[in-house]
Amino acid sequence: MDVMRGRGRSARMPLDNRRRPQGTPMRRRLVLAFILALGIARPAAAAPVAYAYDPEGSAVTAEADYGRTVVRARLPVAEADLAIDFERVANSRFAVVLRADRARSNIPFAARAIMGESVLDAANHPQIRFENTRVASAGEGRVTVTGQATLRGVTREVTLDAVIYRPPGSDPGVRDDLTVLITGTISRAAFGASGHAGSVGDAVRLRILLHVLRAG
């Protein structure tokens, strides 16, 4: 059952006018550089390139509507496994583990409710996991990442949108320093996280921002 469908932004605007993703440090001012969809010359028979994530430059947020207010939770990244095949996108790999038991919220009292038994049930399920099963080009500088997400012990198939950025002014062929932005919307009820349904919306908007450096 596909309970998540990504809703990433379009990449129609020119590269040099692309706004950086909000939440990244100013020194990480970025422009769109998803080479797979730009027709840039690539070496033949290239293998997937492994990347290590930078905890200081990475952030994961999940938000839901709470009346006229937005409840926003920040979830630390425990592990990330990322490899990009710039020749064959389908060979790329993405997996991430989040710390549900260390969630923080923009509303002080909300953090305890988010980690509580009726939502994340972090006491019994301290981690949230996602591992891709399929990666495909979506055109206009985007890809879709489909995989298995496990939250509070429930596993569902989800599909996310992903865009890759590089620092401005950098050589398109140099891919040592990238930022990956992954977005999507899920139904929390599909995972049994239906607590506070009368006051908090079911749709949860995800934003996974990973600053990654070429491994090795």
C-alpha closest to that of 98 among 65, 76, 72, 73 = 76
The pLDDT value recorded for residue 25 is 44
Per-residue pLDDT reduced to its tens digit, 125-177: 999 999 999 999 887 778 999 999 999 999 999 999 999 988 888 888 889 99
CATH fold of 4-214, please? Lipocalin (2.40.128)
Q: Quick check: 76 pLDDT over 80?
A: yes
Predicted confidence at residue 21, as pLDDT, reads 60
Q: What is the pLDDT of residue 40?
A: 44
Q: Is 35 helix (H, G, I), strand (E, B) or coil?
A: helix
The whole-angstrom separation of Cα 16 and Cα 55 is: 27
Helices (H), the chain: 110-115
Reported as a single tens digit per residue, the pLDDT across 19-75 is 446 554 433 445 554 444 444 445 555 689 999 999 999 999 999 999 899 999 999
Q: How many residues does the chain have?
A: 216
Q: What is the pLDDT of residue 45?
A: 57
Sign of the Cα pseudo-torsion (69, 108, 198, 160, in order): positive
Contact residues for 154 (Cβ-Cβ < 8 A; gap 6+): 190, 191, 192
Query: 213: helix, coil or strand?
Result: strand
Task: Look at residue 17 and tell me whether its pLDDT is greater than 60.
Answer: no
Contact 62, 73 (CB under 8 A): yes
Of the spans 54-58, 190-194, 196-200, which averages the highest pLDDT? 190-194
